[in-house]
Amino acid sequence: MAIRTQVVVCGGTGCMSSHSKEIKEKFEECIKELGLENEVVVFNSGCFGLCERGPVVVVYPDDTFYAHVKVSDVETICKEHILKGRVVEKLVYSEMTAEEKAKIKVFREMNFYARQERIALRNCGIINPMDIDEYIGRSGYEALGKVLTSMTPQEVIDEILKSGLRGRGGAGFPTGRKWSLVDHSDNGPRYVICNADEGDPGAFMDRAVLEGDPHVVIEAMAIAGYAIGANQGYVYVRAEYPLAVERLNHAIKQAYEYGLLGDDIFGTGFSFNLEARLGAGAFVCGEETALMASIEGERGMPRNKPPFPAVKGLWQRPTIINNVETLANVPQIILRGAEWFNTIGTEKSKGTKVFALGGKINNTGLLEVPMGTTLREVIYDIGGGIPKGKQFKAVQTGGPSGGCLTAAHLDTPIDYDNLAALGSIMGSGGMIVMDEDNCMVDVAKFFLEFTVDESCGKCTPCREGTRRMLEILNKIVDGKGEMKDLTELKDLAEFIKGSSLCGLGQTAPNPVLSTLNNFYDEYVAHVVDKKCPAGVCKNLIKYYVTDKCIGCGKCKRNCPASAITGELKAKHEINTSICIKCGACKTNCPVGAIITK
C-alpha cells in the first residue's frame, strides 16, 4: 500500500533536547498499534526554524503544524488526525491578532514562514537528513552531475561570479572571485574547506543546515573541488555540535556508497574525497588562517595576509574556504542559473540570508529572507514583535563582531553595505533583539568579555587592547567612571580596529563603538549620574518599597539575603546595606511596589 501520510518530527538540536526523539518513537508505536505502518511514515527532520514553538510536529500532506507537542499528545494526534482525519485544534499553532480570534493556518501560510524565501534551508524540515534518497528526490546531486558532464571548471566559476553570491560567513567577499583567485600555476594538490566553526553567541545557522541537509554541503564542496581542480575537502566543524557531526559523517558515508564521493564520480574521471575535522571550540578558528593551522595540527592562530589561502593555504597549497550557508546556495545556482539568483536580493547583495533570531522576541528561531528585507519586517512581521508589550530598544547583528542598531534603523534594508554603514555587520547571521530592560553598556561589556576570552593572544592590540577596554567598561558599570573614560574608550577602540592582525581583533570594538554612538546618553548616565537607566548594573541601583506595598510578605519570603523586614499587611522595607540586588523581591511582588533607583 502506498504511503499516504508523513509525520515529520523536528530533529534539530533544540527539539531533540525537548524529547522529540521520544515523540518520534511514540508515534511509531501508536501507528503500529493502529495497523497503519504501511500507510504512514515517521521520521526526524532537521530544524523547522520556529524554535520557540518546539517540539514541532508537521503532518503532510495536510501541512498541519503542531506546536509544543509532548509525548502524551501523540496518541491523540494518531487516533484523531492520522486515523480519522480530524485535526487536533488545541495542539495546532495558531496566530492571533487584535482584529480576529485565533486563526489556524497551514504550515506554509503562517506569518513566520509565508514571508520567507528558502534556498539554503530549502530541505530543512522537509527531508530525512539520514536518507540520501530523500535528498536525491529533491534534485540532490543533479547540480554535481551537470557540472561534471556539461560544464568546464571555468564555466562553473563564471556562473558563481555572475550570480553575485557573497560569502555568508561574515565579510561578504564575492564567492566566485575567491574561487577564481586559486593559483593554477602548477599541478600540485589543492583543497576545499567548509568552515562550520560557528562560534557567535546565539548563532546556529550552519549547525541547522548540517543537521537538516548535510548532503547539500557535500555536493557543493565537490562542485567547488571540480571548479578549482581540488580532489580533497575538509569540513571543519565544532565538536560541540554532536548531532551535526553525526549526520554529516553519516551523509559522507552514504555519498561514498553511492559513488558520489571518491574516484571517478559519474564516470567522468573526476575524483573528490571528503572528511570531517573537529574543532575544539576556539572562536578564533572561525578565521580562515587559524582554521587551517588547526587542521594542520598546529595551534589555531591567524597569520598575516597576503598571501591569501587561494594562493598559499592549507599546507601552503591553494585552498578555498567557504562557510556552510555559502555552499548551501551553490547547487541551486548551478541548477537554476545565475540570472534566477540575481532576481533575489539587492543590487550589491544577491540572494537570501539566514538569520538566527533570538533575545527579546516572540518567535525565536531560524529564518531565511531575501536580502533587502528590513529589520522591522524580520523583528515584527516574522519574529512576532517584543514579548510582554515591552518596547524595542536595540538589535545586535553580526554577533560579537557586530553592532547594536536602534529603533531609528528598523526600516533599514538588510544587506552587507547598509549594515556596515551603520557601524554593524552582517556577520554569519546572528540577530539578538533587546528591549527596554536591557542596559546597552552591559551589552557592550558582555560581547567584549567574550572576545577577550577568545583572543588567541598573538597580536598586542587585540590581546592587551581589548582587556584595557574591558577594564574601562567595568569601571563605568561599577560607578567609578569619568567622562574622560568615554573618550579613551573610543580612541582605544579605533586603534584596535586599525591595527589588529585578524578579523577577531579588527571587529571586537564594534559593540562598544556602536553603543557609544547610538546610546551615548546611557553611558553619560552611568558616568555622571551614577545610575543605570535600565536597572541592570548592580552597583548603580538600589531597591526601594513604595507606598503601593500591601504587606503580603512575598518579597520578604523570597529574599535570599533576609534584607527585607515588615509585618503582615504593613509596608515593608529593604535594608540596602545588605541587599545583594538579585531582583527576587521585584520579580515576586504582585503589585509592582518595588522599584529601582
Quote the cell numbers at residue 222. 565537490
Q: What is the pLDDT of residue 221?
A: 98
* pTM of the predicted structure, to 2 decimals: 0.93
pLDDT tens-digit series, residues 516-528: 999 999 999 999 9
| Summary mean pLDDT of the chain | 93
Percent of the chain with pLDDT over 90: 85
> Given this model, what pLDDT does residue 426 score?
87
- Reported as a single tens digit per residue, the pLDDT across 100-122 is 445 567 777 888 999 999 999 99
The pLDDT tens digits of the residues spanning 142-187 come to 999 999 999 999 999 999 999 999 999 877 899 999 999 997 777 8
pLDDT of res. 104: 65
Residues of the chain with CATH 1.20.1440.230: 440-529
> For residue 406, which of 507, 508, 522, 488 has the smallest C-alpha distance?
522
Q: How do 273-279 and 232-238 pair as beta strands?
A: parallel
- Quick check: 407 pLDDT over 70? yes
Higher pLDDT, 108 or 247: 247
CATH 3.30.70.20 domain position(s) in the chain:
542-596
What is the CATH architecture of 352-435? Roll (3.10)
User: Cis bond leading into 214, ω under 30°?
Assistant: no
Q: Please determine, for residue 191, whether its predicted confidence score (pLDDT) is greater than 60.
A: yes
Q: Where in the chain is the domain with CATH 3.10.20.600?
A: 352-435
Q: Taking Cα atoms as reference points, which of 310, 28, 268 lies closest to residue 182?
A: 310
For the chain, where do the domains classified as CATH 3.40.30.10 start and end?
5-108
Choose the CATH number for 542-596 among 3.40.109.10, 3.30.365.10, 3.40.640.10, 3.30.70.20.
3.30.70.20
C-alpha to C-alpha distance for 263 and 312, rounded to whole angstroms? 26
**Average of per-residue pLDDT across 321-334:** 97
CA 532 – CA 413 distance, rounded (Å): 32
Q: Where are the beta strands (DSSP E) in 418-508?
A: 430-435
The residues near 70 (Cβ < 8 Å, ≥ 6 apart) are 19, 23, 55
CA 310 to chain CA centroid, Å, is: 27
Query: Domain 5-108: what homologous superfamily?
Result: Glutaredoxin (3.40.30.10)
For domain 132-341, is the CATH number 3.40.50.10490? no
Query: What is the per-residue pLDDT for 98?
Result: 44
Which of the four pLDDT bands, split at 50, 70 and 90, describes residue 200? confident
Neighbours of 587 (CB within 10 A): 11
Answer CATH for 440-529 from 2.60.40.10, 3.30.70.420, 3.10.180.10, 1.20.1440.230: 1.20.1440.230
